[in-house]
Amino acid sequence: MSWIVSLPCTRAEAEALNDDMSALDALVQAPVVVTHELNEDRDEWQVDAYVDDKPGAELLETLVSLVASAKGKKPKVEELPEEDWVTLSQQGLEPVQAGRFFVHTSSYADRVPAGSTSFLIDASQAFGTGGHDTTAGCLAMLDQLKHAGANPRNIADIGTGTGLLAFAAMALWPRAKTIASDIDPASIFVTRDNAGINGVPLGRGGGGLALAVAPGTNHPSIKHRAPYDLVIANILAGPLITLAPDIAAVTAPGGHAILAGLIARQMEPVLAAYRAQGFRLAARSGSAEWPCLLLIKRHRYGWRRKERAYHRASPSDASFGSW
């Protein structure tokens, strides 16, 4: 038997849960969590937590503590019959079409549109099934980057979650070397499983996906493979700001960085952190509330720089060396 714990919530609370489930993941009885909308007009949402055993007090108390609007309400606890509870948990997860990409769960495996690049990503404890605006925005941005003629040969997906964005990048640029990392070991196990399900080859050479458990870019494999033509980081605003110097250090001059996981009011602080590291904003997509940013790392020339410009002013020219 399996169990489901349900609690009403608002959209903001549902999105906050989707962005950071660390409090629930830290529990001994860690659940698979799905949020879905009940009534768009009245901002009525629901969070469902699925577990194998009868929910304990710690899980119930933690769940209530994460949903402020449900203060004083008792979670609904139900025992499920002998069914595939993972499939049940995905019934509220609609497929997502973002550019050429179609991301779906097993429930929609027979409804893939012709001509689309599809990925089957089932619900798990890792973030990034494609349903959240941040993930969908990144998929659309990758598609736009391909249409613009970009051809990265070395790609890093920092904070990969389910591996989806790394898979999408590999579908667009199949000869590129790609590495996906996450601070959570469970995410790397999920990514490995999803790679097998979607026919994504693992490996360290061109066309293969390398995996690493790492906080940010702090891993020998990530540093050894740098610099990257494309870095993807769909995480949260705080870690994005903290990681700005590290991401800049592994991004090649002229390379792209796709940043997401921030809300609109956090965009300027995030941009300021990356501008200070030599990036400029090239494009913005995603929803109004959840922007996705495309940055380009500027080339730096001059006698104190590692790069040199040719057929231009000499290093002694006092007007030279800006960027």
Per-residue model confidence as pLDDT tens digits over 260-316: 988 888 999 999 999 999 999 999 987 888 899 999 999 875 444 444 433 333 222
Per-residue model confidence as pLDDT tens digits over 229-258: 999 999 888 899 999 999 999 999 999 999
Mean pLDDT of the chain: 83
CA dihedral 159, 258, 118, 106 (to 10 degrees): 30
What is the per-residue pLDDT for 123?
66
Q: What is the pTM of this model?
A: 0.67
Question: Which DSSP string corresponds to 195-235?
Answer: HHHTTPPB-SSTT-EEEEE-STT-SHHHHHH--EEEEEEES
> Quick check: 47 and 33 in contact, CB under 8 A?
yes
What separation in angstroms does the CA of 120 have from each of 95, 101, 296? 10, 11, 31
CATH 3.30.1540.10 for domain 122-297: no
Superfamily of domain 2-89: ACT domain (3.30.70.260)
Q: How far apart are the first and last CA of the chain?
A: 62
Residue 234 counted as an annotated binding residue? yes
**Shared fold status for 2-89 and 122-297:** no
Residue 182 counted as an annotated binding residue? yes
Alpha helices for the chain (secondary structure H): 11-19, 22-25, 57-65, 85-89, 133-147, 164-172, 185-197, 220-225, 237-250, 267-275
Residue 242 counted as an annotated binding residue? no
Residue 135 counted as an annotated binding residue? yes
Rounded mean pLDDT, 210-236: 95
> Quick check: 164 and 135 in contact, CB under 8 A?
yes
Residue 320 has pLDDT above 80, yes or no: no
What is the per-residue pLDDT for 90?
46
What separation in angstroms does the CA of 272 have from each of 277, 279, 280, 281? 9, 9, 10, 10
* Chain centroid to CA 82: 33
**Number of Cβ atoms within 10 Å of the Cβ of 318:** 6
Spell out the residues 6+ positions from residue 246 whose beta carbon is closer than 8 angstroms to its own: 216, 217, 218
Q: What is the DSSP letter of 307?
A: B
Alpha helices for 90-173 (secondary structure H): 133-147, 164-172
Domain ranges of the chain: 2-89, 122-297
* Most confident stretch, 84-93, 128-137, 272-281, 294-303: 272-281
